[in-house]
């Protein structure tokens, strides 16, 4: 939409002026390319460094967290790095792990299903929760029981409640505010945020419940869209 609103000739002239200005400021063309296309300059360096490091260890693991937010910027680059040799070869000793709320884009990655493993992160078992708490120094049984009760063994909440190393059950805070903030952290639409909060109280939702919950929050004609959005969230499951 932006490109269609700008005169192509003016856009080209502006790009030429930018290149000319950078060329005048920097000593060599590599510095200019580093500013204009940093991934083209730095990716080959990264791959060479990984290959060198791979000679000293059995495996190298690269973690990309919050991929639902970083994926729009990184996914094309990551796909190119892992499936082509345009920037050089990725060492066979490198394992890439992405963590996010949504699965991979099948349009981009569908042809590589044999090389991808999806692992759904379910709630911890009680044993796993206790192990995490013990690692954080939370071992008093009344405190552990309270954390298990409040967190429902959800990994992020178990970890959050253990951060301050509570020594007494009364010191264990209510995780609901933290959970809501984490889930809605990246949602900028105030209507969606308000709708999610309004629909958080019922344990089960359907179109009628959502319509009643968001009455006054959004227009009636927007309710089907809000319901569809709620159903798309990773922490909402169909029954």
For the chain, the domains span 1-36, 38-120, 126-173, 186-232
Tokens for 39? 């991934």
Which H or E run includes 61?
A: strand 60-64
- Using CA atoms in the order 144, 146, 147, 152, what is the torsion angle rounded to 10 degrees? 120
pLDDT digits (tens, 9 = 90+) for 165-193: 887 777 777 666 666 676 777 778 899 98
Mean pLDDT to the nearest integer, 35-60 = 90
| Residue 2 confidence (pLDDT) above 60 | no
Residue 187 DSSP SS3? coil
| Residue 1 confidence (pLDDT) above 50 | no
Of the pLDDT bands very low, low, confident and very high (cuts 50, 70, 90), residue 163 is confident
Instruction: Judge whether 87 and 78 are in contact, CB under 8 Å.
Output: no
What is the distance between the alpha carbons of residues 234 and 10, in angstroms, rounded to a whole number? 44
């Amino acid at each position: 939409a932006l490109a269609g609103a700008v005169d192509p000739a003016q856009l080209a002239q502006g790009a030429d002026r930018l290149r000319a200005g950078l060329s005048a400021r920097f000593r060599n063309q590599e510095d200019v390319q580093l500013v204009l296309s940093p991934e083209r300059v730095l990716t080959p360096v990264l791959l060479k460094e990984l290959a060198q490091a791979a000679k000293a260890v059995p495996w190298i693991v690269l973690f990309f967290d919050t991929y639902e937010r970083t994926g729009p910027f990184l996914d094309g680059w990551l796909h190119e790095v892992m499936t082509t040799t345009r920037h050089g070869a990725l060492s066979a000793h490198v394992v890439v792990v992405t963590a996010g709320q949504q699965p991979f884009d099948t349009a981009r990655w569908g042809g590589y299903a044999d090389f991808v493993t999806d692992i759904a992160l379910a709630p911890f078992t009680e044993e796993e929760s206790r192990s995490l708490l013990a690692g954080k120094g939370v071992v008093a049984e009344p405190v552990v029981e309270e954390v298990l009760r409040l967190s429902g063994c959800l990994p992020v909440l178990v970890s959050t409640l253990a951060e301050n190393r509570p020594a007494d059950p009364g010191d264990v805070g209510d995780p609901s505010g933290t959970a809501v903030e984490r889930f809605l952290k990246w949602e900028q639409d105030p209507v969606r945020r308000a709708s999610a909060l309004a629909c958080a109280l019922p344990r089960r939702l359907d179109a009628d419940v959502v319509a009643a919950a968001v009455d006054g929050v959004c227009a009636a004609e927007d309710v089907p869209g809000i319901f569809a959005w709620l159903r798309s969230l990773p922490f909402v499951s169909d029954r």
